[in-house]
Structure 1
Amino acid sequence: MTATQRLGFSEHAPEIYRALLRLHQAATKNVDPRLADLVMIRASQINRCAFCIDMHTADARKAGEREERISLLNAWQEVDRLYTERERAALALTEAMTVLTDGFVPDEVFRQAARHFDQDELAELIGLIATINTWNRVNVAARTAPASIR
């Protein structure tokens, strides 16, 4: 069963949509595009946002990302050699910020990210994770259909 789109968000909230686009541009401006794709895919997997998974996996493929890194991203902790330590730190932070089951990001996750990113990079990564989570929530609520199945 394919869910029917509930709401055309960009049509009914154009100011918010444009603001989110500007936020996304700012959040991705200084983050390595390959890392940004991995982060956006992983958050979207957790949030079950088909629209964003479809978009960001297609973007990653176009950027030359290897298929096994995309297909195994939901099990990144099980495949040590497939992702760099820096990517693993970013993915751990992505998961901690996306799930927030304990109501906070664990200190060890933050420390690990801080070992691999300077403070400016870390702030930008946090902004990217927050932004993709916002997009996920908008698209899941609106049931925005993935472009590949429209």
Structure 2
Amino acid sequence: MTARTTQLDDRVRSALRTVGAAAKRGLGDAGLAELVQIRASQLNHCAFCLDMHLGLARQQGVSEQKLDLLAAWEEAGEVFDARERAALALTEAVTVLTEGFVPDEVYEQAATHFAEAELAHLLALIATINTWNRLMVARRIPAGSTEW
């Protein structure tokens, strides 16, 4: 597959990178941040972002078992702890918006595992990766591309 276009305004790229970096810092858990970004990218079928964030997750020490089972995290038993499961459930709810909103029980579960500021950063991270996914998928940027 070849890209439809690699054109992206540098100010847009810079702004999205800044928001993503701030959200990761505020969340304070680099491994979890990568799991969230990978899960959203799986749901959005973004090969470019999957390729990038799988590599970053490995650099952060995320286990291969977690990476292998992420697509089936709900069935993976205790591979994912309660905090990770809450973050992944919130990621799916925000990414898919099946019912047109994030269900109260999903948000409330996340709120039991994250302080208010952490939760705000987690939501910003989910929104940012969804934006990146849509930009990359719409432009058909292939995995591993150096021009984007």
* Separation (CA, whole Å) in 2 of partners of 1:115 and 1:107: 12
Query: How many Å apart are 1:20 and its aligned residue?
Result: 1.1
Report what 2:19 is aligned to.
23
Q: Deviations over 1:126-149 (max 9, x none)?
A: 000000000000000111111179
- 2:64 maps to 1:67: yes
Q: 1:38 aligns with which of 35, 38, 53?
A: 35
Between 1:100-109 and 1:58-67, the stretch displaced more is: 58-67
Deviations 1:92-147 (CA, angstroms, capped at 9, x unpaired) = 00000000021100010011000101111111100000000000000001111111
Which of 1, 4, 11 pairs up with 2:2?
Answer: 4
Q: Which amino acid aligns with 2:20?
A: H
Comparing 30-39 and 90-99, the one that deviates more: 30-39
Q: Does 1:96 align with 2:93?
A: yes
CA distance in 1, matches of 2:146, 2:70: 22
Q: Matched residues in 1 for 2:6 and 2:14: separation?
A: 14
Given that residues 42 and 74 in structure 1 are in contact (C-alpha distance below 8 angstroms), is that contact kept between their aligned partners in structure 2?
Answer: yes
Letter in 1 for 2:91: T
Letter in 2 for 1:9: Q
Distance 2:11 2:75 in 1: 41
TM-score scaled by length of structure 2? 0.94
Measured after TM superposition, the shift of residue 9 of structure 1 is 3.3
Alignment partner of 2:115 out of 104, 115, 118: 118
Give the gaps of 5 or more residues in structure 2: none
Percent of aligned pairs sharing the same letter: 53
Q: Which runs of 5+ in 1 are unaligned?
A: none
Correspondence for 1:130: 127
Structure 1 residue aligned with 2:103: 106
What residue number does 2:140 align with?
143
Corresponding pairs, count:
146
Rounded to whole Å, the distance in 2 between the matches of 1:115 and 1:21 is: 28
CA contact (8 A) 2:93 2:106 kept: yes
Provide the alpha-carbon RMSD of the alignment.
1.5
Q: Please tell me whether the aligned partners of residues 54 and 148 of structure 1 are also in contact (alpha carbons under 8 angstroms).
A: no
